[in-house]
């Protein structure tokens, strides 16, 4: 019952564990790097880190098609209900909740969170997910570097997904510092190469991670799966 991760392009991740599909930040329509489409992707739960369009993406359409529960901060949960999403679960930073697939805690993220229609989206979050098989994943989502990543790392991270695109989030240098603070067993770069403004050479970054840390850096192609070492 291994836990698997697929990078679907940009910040969109699909996690599969014990037959459950957990989709994160499903920006597929309009995403030049999208590896699937909103009418095909599987989801039992959809986690949305913040209100920006490149993260909310197709959440409403996918939730309506699949009946998935949307998990996000309290402010956005009310907005999703107004958009017609039937099953919504609101949490807040530092708070965790047990779902059928595992435990999800919202973490800090230094970023913005305005929703696509200009509504207030609360504060942006990352996700610390502990699956039933014990696999623990930290998706930093959109954020700058912050020292408390060390506290998140102290929980013991099997795999971290970190933005490296720069401009809107950490760039390669700060993402490398983040790897040192978190100390994940494996790390996957995200939120780069979607557009020219966030173009980065992930292979070069991965080589720096290998040289300077104990973490295994894995560069995925959009649509590629990996099994996470628990």
For helices 59-66 and 74-82, angle between their N-to-C axes, nearest 10 degrees: 70
Residue 174, Cβ neighbours under 10 Å: how many? 18
Residue 28 or 218 having the CB closest to Ni ion:
28
Q: Please report whether residue 52 would count as binding Ni ion according to CB under 5 A.
A: yes
Residue 20 or 52 having the CB closest to Ni ion:
52
Identify the sign of the CA torsion 187, 48, 192, 7. positive
Q: Please report whether residue 25 would count as binding Ni ion according to CB under 5 A.
A: no
- Count residues near Mn ion (CB under 5 A): 2
Q: How far apart are CA 138 and CA 24, in angstroms?
A: 12
CB of 27 to Mn ion, least distance (A): 8
Which residues, numbered 171-190, are part of the site for Ni ion (CB under 5 A)? Answer: none
| Part in contact with Mn ion (CB under 5 A); list of ranges 38-46, 85-93, 115-123, 136-144 | 136-144
Q: Please report whether residue 54 would count as binding Mn ion according to CB under 5 A.
A: yes
Residue 101 or 205 having the CB closest to Mn ion:
205
Would you tell me which residues interact with Mn ion (CB under 5 A)? 54, 142
Q: Which residues bind Ni ion (CB under 5 A)?
A: 52, 142
């Amino acid at each position: 019952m291994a836990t698997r991760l697929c990078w679907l392009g940009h910040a969109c991740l699909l996690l599969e564990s014990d037959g459950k599909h957990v989709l994160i930040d499903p920006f597929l329509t309009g995403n030049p790097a999208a590896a699937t489409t909103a009418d095909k992707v599987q989801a039992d739960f959809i986690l949305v880190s913040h209100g920006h369009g490149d993260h909310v993406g197709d959440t409403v359409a996918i939730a309506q098609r699949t009946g998935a529960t949307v998990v996000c901060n309290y402010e956005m949960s009310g907005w999703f209900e107004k958009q017609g999403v039937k099953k919504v679960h609101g949490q807040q930073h530092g708070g965790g909740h047990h779902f059928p697939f595992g435990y999800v805690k919202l973490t800090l993220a230094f970023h913005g969170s305005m929703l696509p229609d200009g509504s207030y989206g609360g504060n942006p979050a990352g996700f610390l997910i502990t699956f039933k098989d014990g696999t623990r994943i930290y998706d930093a989502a959109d954020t700058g570097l912050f020292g408390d990543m060390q506290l998140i790392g102290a929980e013991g991270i099997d795999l971290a997904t970190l933005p490296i695109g720069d401009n809107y989030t950490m760039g390669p240098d700060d993402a490398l510092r983040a790897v040192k603070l978190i100390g994940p067993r494996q790390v996957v770069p995200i939120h780069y190469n979607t557009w020219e403004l966030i173009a980065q050479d992930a292979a070069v970054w991965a080589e720096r991670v290998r040289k300077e840390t104990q973490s295994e850096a894995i560069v995925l192609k959009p649509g590629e799966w990996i099994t996470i070492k628990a």
